[in-house]
Structure 1
Amino acid sequence: MTDAGEVGAAGADVVVAGAGPAGRVLARECALRGLRTVLVAPRPDARWPATYGLWLDEAELLPPGAGYVVARARVLAGGERWLERAYAVLDNDSVRNALTHPDVVVRAGRVEEVTAPVIVDATGARSRGGVEQTAYGLRVPAPVAARVVRPGEVVFMDWRQPGTGPPTFLYAVPLPDGRVLLEETSLARRPGLPFAVLRERLLARLAEHGVDPGRTEAEVERVRIPLDAGASAGAGRVVRFGAAAGLVHPASGYGVADALRLAPAVAGAIATGGAVAARRVVWPARARAVHRLRRAGLRTLLTLDPDQTAEFFGLFFALPPHRQRAYLSGRDDLAGTAAAMAALFGAARWPLRRRMALRR
């Protein structure tokens, strides 16, 4: 429900600021535990404009009714490799509806207008001119994209470069509405690569495939994700969650699955121990240690030229699937993350090893 009226200070146990995936899932979990929950955002009913993906084995974290498209994923980095993990692209409208609990009071406004024993900041990451992932994409009809990505497939990363300049990759995924997103992505750069450059590179890449998206009505998607945020769980009555807490993988930009995974435990902690207990769940010691290792991986990525970047990801996706899963999805798997990084270091040639060693 949406309520534009006042919510008294005594009327809420928890106020969640932010109506994206992280805010919605945590508000739902709080309501499921009987907490009087208020969700506040400037435009709480606005549709989510971004394309969200996760691995199929993480889709079990979604509530009933949440839809997604499943596809096989391949990587092109010094050759073509099919990944063992299938990929899922979320149907935003159905996911948003599934995460909406009828007992959550939804308000259009700002969090300063209400108060509660616990206030959750789920308003997203703040860009401060640091390391960013940027992307420029076009949502096109499937027949237009057929020369780039076949039905039932995802091009997770195509590191073949469409020109000179910093390394970028093509991300091509089927969308729930039947269209396909063709997106040129700069994985990590300080500051982020401008959208105009990414657009030029995307059009050049598509031209190499004989694809002219200008002949159809293509919807534009622009992405900017800060990657170098530290682990920050909040203070006092405030609990940070989602990207606002730094729950974005520093070397990939992914974060929705972690928000889905953590929300039940964070809501349970709020119910039993308040903000202090919740912050311990958001950033326990092992997760902080993994975050530091992942940020070391990010520092390595920032130093690589296009050929080294392709070599890096070719080696990474040649690792055993359990090593890939540990690094990409094991938020508090310290041993698995360290083992994956060690295995990649051991497989690299000396020029790449030197880059990796210098940035640890």
Structure 2
Amino acid sequence: MAVFDIADVVVMGAGPSGRAIASACANQGLDTALVDPAPQRPWRNVYSLWKDELPDIPDSAVAATADPALVHIGEREIVLPREYAVLDNAGLRNWLSDERVAVHTGIATGVAHGPHGSLVRLSGGGRVTARVVVDARGVRHGGTEQTAYGVVLPRALAERLAPSGAAVFMDWRRDPGTGDAPSFRYLVPLGRERVLVEETSLARKPGLGHDVLAHRLRAFLGEHGISTDGRQEEQVRLRLDAPLPKPGRTIPFGAAAGLVHPATGYSIAASLRLAVPVAAAIAGHLDSGRTSAAAAAARKVIWPPRALAVHALRRHALHALGNLPATEVPEFFGLFFALPPEHQRAFLSERDDPRALASTMARLFASAPWRLRRSLLW
């Protein structure tokens, strides 16, 4: 049985959130370890963000930026006034990796907390001991989910769908679906002459099946003379309504901390922004010898009262959106993307200004016709 020397911090999970918090802890001078079943496994997901959410991200971590970013509502085209970026997974991993972090391969099967530290049990009998444990392993599927099915196209083919270099944040130019299962197209450049096009379902419980989304995407691409045969695929399943974790000695981070946006499914920008202040909070309490208080301090950084209020409002918006009939969903998003940029940003990105978000929601409601208002209030 392998027993590793005690560290200041052990992080469970070596995805972007886990590596971000581990690197940030190492930069605070903390002896940091990372545990993952396959720590060198390539990241397969496509990670995107609005560039102004993380203005200091290095160019090496960005695969492509979109110019312009578009929304299509029927025959109407809306140009979004923000730069959209798709991250380069290899560059992102390199940026977030730190040689000072000890990496251990194994499945974390349990955590035991004691008065002076914690022990992470690994499959096969190994153990890692640390003063603080961070859980960055994500959340289980279930509940209300956003799902997507996509294929990667060469840029020459993708130009039949959108201008070269553009992103299409939402494309509602076809029938959005029936009943409670609307879906839209999402298209982003990946760099190296590649473009991802996805059929994406809005929040649904349970999430719309990938087989349904694949059928819709193939039909859409077929209308443009594009076959999906032999294409690289992507399947996405994001839980949008995971409950916020209860206070405890283990520090949740990333999706495990509830940082997934309840309406959009995005979380990576919030995780990357919060890694440094959370690590500073942990370090401050360990420096003073208050190991048991580190988790409480980290939680206050992740979920201050204003962020909790914003999260609650977004969860309310998620519920209201679910009440709309499929045929009215495109109109709703047309109204949203007609709002001034600061209102769009308040809903899509800001997490500590509940007044701005409430103003956005009120303005959107006031601009909606009565038939939409009735659905939103139901």
TM-score by length of 2: 0.89
Q: Please state how far the C-alpha of 1:86 moved relative to its aligned partner.
A: 1.3
Deviations 1:318-358 (A, max 9, x none): 00000000111111111111111111111111111112223
Deviations 1:146-180 (A, max 9, x none): 20122110011002335743210100111023211
Of 84, 92, 115, which aligns to 2:129? 115
Structure 1 residues 140, 212: CA separation in 2 closer, same or farther (over 3 Å shift)? same
- Aligned residue number for residue 242 of structure 2: 229
Corresponding position: 1:28 with 2:23: yes
- Aligned residue number for residue 259 of structure 1: 271
- Is contact 2:62-2:85 (8 Å) kept? no
Q: Secondary structure at the match of 2:203?
A: strand
> Is 170-179 or 239-248 further displaced after alignment?
170-179
Q: Which amino acid aligns with 1:145?
A: A
Q: Secondary structure at the match of 2:130?
A: coil
Q: Which amino acid aligns with 1:77?
A: I
Q: Please state how far the C-alpha of 1:61 moved relative to its aligned partner.
A: 4.3
Corresponding position: 1:203 with 2:218: yes
Query: Is the radius of gyration larger for structure 1 or structure 2?
Result: 2
The sequence identity of aligned pairs, in percent, is 51
Q: Which amino acid aligns with 1:239?
A: I
- Aligned residue number for residue 302 of structure 2: 282
- The CA distance in 1 between the partners of 2:182 and 2:60, in whole Å, is 38
Q: Structure 1 regions of 5+ residues with no counterpart?
A: none
Corresponding position: 1:332 with 2:332: no
Q: Please state how far the C-alpha of 1:66 moved relative to its aligned partner.
A: 2.0
Structure 1 residues 231, 332: CA separation in 2 closer, same or farther (over 3 Å shift)? farther
> Is 349-358 or 291-300 further displaced after alignment?
349-358
Q: How many residues align?
A: 349
- The CA distance in 1 between the partners of 2:59 and 2:162, in whole Å, is 29
Q: Please state how far the C-alpha of 1:68 moved relative to its aligned partner.
A: 3.0
- Aligned residue number for residue 81 of structure 1: 78
- Aligned residue number for residue 39 of structure 1: 34
Matches within 5 A, 1:91-170: 91-111=88-108, 112=121, 113-127=127-141, 129-162=142-175, 164-165=177-178, 166-170=181-185
- The CA distance in 2 between the partners of 1:148 and 1:286, in whole Å, is 41
Give the ranges of 4+ consecutive aligned residues of structure 1 lying more than 6 Å apart after TM superposition: none
Deviations 1:49-101 (A, max 9, x none): 10010012124242574233111210012421010001000011101111001
Q: Please state how far the C-alpha of 1:143 moved relative to its aligned partner.
A: 1.4
Q: Structure 2 regions of 5+ residues with no counterpart?
A: 109-120, 122-126, 286-293
> Is 191-200 or 297-306 further displaced after alignment?
297-306
The structure that is strand-richer by fraction is 2
- Aligned residue number for residue 253 of structure 2: 241
- Is contact 1:228-1:295 (8 Å) kept? yes
- The CA distance in 1 between the partners of 2:246 and 2:162, in whole Å, is 40
Q: Please state how far the C-alpha of 1:234 moved relative to its aligned partner.
A: 4.4
- Is contact 1:161-1:168 (8 Å) kept? no
Q: Please state how far the C-alpha of 1:186 moved relative to its aligned partner.
A: 0.3
- Is contact 1:144-1:213 (8 Å) kept? no
Q: Please state how far the C-alpha of 1:118 moved relative to its aligned partner.
A: 1.1
- Is contact 2:177-2:183 (8 Å) kept? no
- Is contact 1:74-1:155 (8 Å) kept? yes
Structure 1 residues 163, 252: CA separation in 2 closer, same or farther (over 3 Å shift)? closer
> Is 195-204 or 173-182 further displaced after alignment?
173-182
> Is 75-84 or 107-116 further displaced after alignment?
107-116
- Aligned residue number for residue 269 of structure 1: 281
Deviations 1:203-244 (A, max 9, x none): 111122232233xx31010000000112226412x0101101
Structure 1 residues 48, 225: CA separation in 2 closer, same or farther (over 3 Å shift)? same
Structure 1 residues 242, 6: CA separation in 2 closer, same or farther (over 3 Å shift)? same
Of 9, 12, 24, which aligns to 1:17? 12
Corresponding position: 1:301 with 2:346: no
